[in-house]
Amino acid sequence: MLRTAIADAAGTVPGTDPDRASFSVALNAARDQVILAAGVLSGIVTDLAGAIGRLVLASLLPGRRLRTSPRVVKRAMSRYPPKARSTAQPARLRSPSSSSVPP
């Protein structure tokens, strides 16, 4: 719900990136409205930004910096060389009925 309010608020100002909006500001504004019971709807509301959106737009974060390196998964460093794969067949278990124990 808060993400929708943030996106609606950012959509009211052309060129505003929703990533610059603070979730914490939106959460605090929503909490304050619930505590005070402020902004209770009594009819049709045409203000898409609302009280939460106005507070979010008043405190936009700076733009994000561009990523210079692609994301990669780091490999764990090991002091030991990797084990060579064995080509030997695993030993098969003998069933109790095929044992070669003399009677």
Return the minimum-mean-pLDDT range out of 21-30, 41-50, 65-74: 41-50
Residue 93 — pLDDT band, cuts 50, 70, 90? low
- 37 vs 41, residue with greater confidence: 37
Look at residue 9 and tell me whether its pLDDT is greater than 70: yes
**Quick one: pLDDT at residue 57?**
85
Q: How confident is residue 39, by pLDDT bands cut at 50, 70 and 90?
A: low
Region 20-29: mean pLDDT is 89
> Considering only CA atoms, which of 61, 50, 63, 65 is closest in space to residue 24?
61
The answer to whether 17 and 63 have CB atoms below 8 angstroms apart is yes
Contacts of 91 (CB under 8 A, 6+ apart): none
> Cα torsion at 16, 70, 4, 22 (round to 10°)?
-60
Please give the Cα distance from 81 to 18 (Å, whole number).
48
Percent of the chain with pLDDT over 90: 1
Q: How far does Cα 62 stand from its chain's mean position? A: 20
